[in-house]
Amino acid sequence: MDKGLNGTKSLNEFVKFPYTYKDEWNIPFENLQKVVGTCYHALENRQKEHNVRYLVIYISPVDKDKATTAEKSIYIRLKEMFLFYGYHSQVVFRDKITRPDFNFALPNIEIAMLAKLGGVPWRLKREPAKELIVGIGASYIRNSANKMLGSAFCFDNDGKFLHFDCFPAKDTNALSVSIRLALIDFRNKNPEAKRLIIHFYKLMSKKELKPILDMLYSLNVDIPVIILTINKTVTKNVLAFDVAAPKTLMPLTGTYVQIAERQYLLYNNIRYNETSFVKQSKYQFPVKIKMTSTQLSLLEDPALIDLLIDQVYQFSRMYWKSVAQQNMPVTILYPQMVAEIFPYFKTPVLSEFGKETLWFL
């Protein structure tokens, strides 16, 4: 990373901020079973300089895609400990470093590191607007004392991450209360906002979701609230084709069609222009978007509809774990990523340090 690799830029060239590395900071460990204790004793009394951000690169002997449950729990315990002591962290699989194609993985690693340290790898080319975009997630949790996890991520309109919170809960009634408090807190932290746009991804039944949706529809804040319920769809009863492209029939990426009142299908794929070749394995189902608002008259404005759908589309390009485009916006993906890790922390409350960083990337 320090010097680049096979044409890939060095970390300093790629992220464009100064950093310092010292051999004496390294923490060697004998085996995986001892790594948590070894890191704990090394970090417990280590002094940190004020106004300096620290990042730990954990060279893991285990590939995360092949890890056992016990090995995954060690990784999660390390993540929690690094957060507790105020360290950002990045995991790199040991055997991957020596592979001849490691240079292709470096950009993804460097992007994630920059984002975790508070940098902005790229942002949307948008005129600044006084609005908040908040992604809300609600997920089931397996093998946990709490059945559910809710989370809320706050961004500005050019895709800059501001802060987030997450909260375990026994049921959706409790979850709706926590989400409401988080939204009001975001509003208080950003008093200049003139509009609140909520992206919500449904993973549950209508009955279970009712407390959350009722809360969103009746959210008592002093600015207009627009709610976009976003779903992946494999529906076959509503389809759209690009008849000008008989070989693929796939609509160009960014195309959307209205399918009902305030309901739309957004095609978010990698067919960027008429000459783009897309393998069938890369075909993506459209995203279904349903809109409502505390001021329904706002949704009668075609220009605002364009803007809201374009935000969903553009936020799929703000995924700072990879340079690859995603089918879903980060307002939806990030809550899902947190739900894979945070429920298994020993402490059920996220630290303030954790709320201001994208540590889960």
Taking the C-alpha atoms of residue 210 and residue 7, their distance in angstroms, rounded to an integer, is 53
Under DSSP, is residue 182 helix (H, G, I), strand (E, B) or coil? helix
Average pLDDT estimate for 179-199: 88
pLDDT in tens, 35-56: 999 999 999 888 888 888 999 9
pLDDT in tens, 280-292: 556 677 889 999 9
pLDDT in tens, 313-337: 989 888 888 777 788 899 999 988 8
The pTM (predicted TM-score) of the whole model is 0.85
Helix (H) or strand (E) holding 140: strand 131-140
Mean residue pLDDT of the chain comes to: 84
Domain ranges for the chain, please list them.
Answer: 11-116, 131-225+294-355
Would you say residue 20 has pLDDT above 80? yes
Which tokens sit at 73?
């729990």
pLDDT in tens, 113-165: 888 888 877 777 777 778 889 998 888 777 666 677 888 899 988 888 888 98
pLDDT in tens, 117-130: 888 777 777 777 78
For the ranges 176-185, 226-235, 265-274, the lowest mean pLDDT is seen at: 265-274
pLDDT band at 106 (very low <50, low <70, confident <90, very high): confident
Q: List Cβ neighbours of 188 (8 Å cut-off, separation of 6 or more).
A: none
For the ranges 69-83, 160-174, 239-253, 314-328, the lowest mean pLDDT is seen at: 239-253
The CATH number fitting domain 131-225+294-355, selected from 3.30.420.10, 3.30.565.10, 3.30.70.1430, 3.50.50.60: 3.30.420.10
pLDDT of 64: 84
Average pLDDT estimate for 294-321: 91
Taking the C-alpha atoms of residue 227 and residue 215, their distance in angstroms, rounded to an integer, is 11
pLDDT of 282: 60
Q: Which amino acid is at 115?
A: A
- Within 10 angstroms of residue 41's Cβ, the number of other Cβ atoms is 11
- Out of 248-257, 268-277, 339-348, the most confident range is 339-348
* Alpha helices, H only, the chain: 11-15, 35-44, 69-84, 94-97, 102-116, 172-189, 206-217, 302-315, 330-339, 352-355
pLDDT of 290: 93
pLDDT of 144: 65
User: When comparing pLDDT for 23 and 208, which is higher?
Assistant: 23
Would you say residue 77 has pLDDT above 90? yes
Average pLDDT estimate for 95-105: 83
